[in-house]
Amino acid sequence: MPGQGVAWACKGFEPGSGRLLHHVATDLLPKGTPQAIVTGPSFAKEVAMNLPTAVTVAGSDSSFTKVMANALHGGRFRAYTSDDMIGAELGGAVKNVMAVATGICDGMKLGDNARAALITRGLAEMMRLGVALKAKPETLMGLAGAGDLILTCTGDLSRNRQLGLKLGQGKTLETALDEIGQVVEGVNSSAEVQRLSLTHNINMPISEQVNGIIHKGWDPAEGVARLMAREQKAEHGE
């Protein structure tokens, strides 16, 4: 029926393949089924408290996307529309990896300068991967990208940031995950982002270090040292 389709608010990649969720859904749903993702800087607890929130609804069918946005929009909850599902899903997944990195930075008490640098350079990595996957730059600079990145990297309600904080304080991955007691999306996403960076030959050093710390047992302090020891280069143009 007109206006009907499938929408989701989960974020991440298909384990083992690195595929975005709408690519998986396309294989599973009847051909032509409208799809949409609801994403952006939106801690569920704050939404439930009716605190001001803005999100992006990105979809494959403009009519269905509008229906979803209208259903969500109102009061203190704003819903913007987009046709860039790749960018919306990519931003929602990569930001979890960067939140782990920022949490490690803060757990090691490296300071506000380091946190700001990590978030900014993390956005640069997200943008480079976005170019390879044909995401729109404006999506990654909007709520689904930069907005969600800033929230997840700085907000203590973020499970990914909490994981990073605990790793930066010297706790093991197993202990940190046990203490959090919930799914931490950045664990899986770090492996898939690393896979995509290698597949597309993209320089993503922060993502590489997070993947190494989580999946290869690398020491966080050594990871910071490796990042700081990289050669001098122009800020833009990689």
Phi/psi for 63 (5° steps) reads -65, -45
Hey, which residues does 80 pair with through a beta bridge? Answer: 56
Structure tokens at 90: 């990519």
Q: Which two tokens stand for residue 106?
A: 């803060």
Which tokens go with 109? 């008490």
- b/e per residue 138-166 (b: at least 16 CB within 10 A): ebbbbbbbbbbbbbbbbeeebbbbbbbbb
Q: Which of 11, 45, 66, 95 is catalytic?
A: 95
Contact 81, 59 (CB under 8 A): yes
Residues whose CB is less than 8 angstroms from the CB of residue 231 and which lie 6 or more positions away in sequence, other chains included: none
Mark whether 45 is an active-site residue.
Answer: no
The structure tokens 């896979």 sit at 195
Identify the CA nearest to 40 among candidates 170, 148, 116.
Answer: 148
Contacting residues for 12 by C-beta, under 8 A, at least 6 apart:
21, 92, 93, 96, 185, 188, 189, 192
Tokens at 110, concatenated: 């490296």
Q: Could you list the active site residues?
A: 95
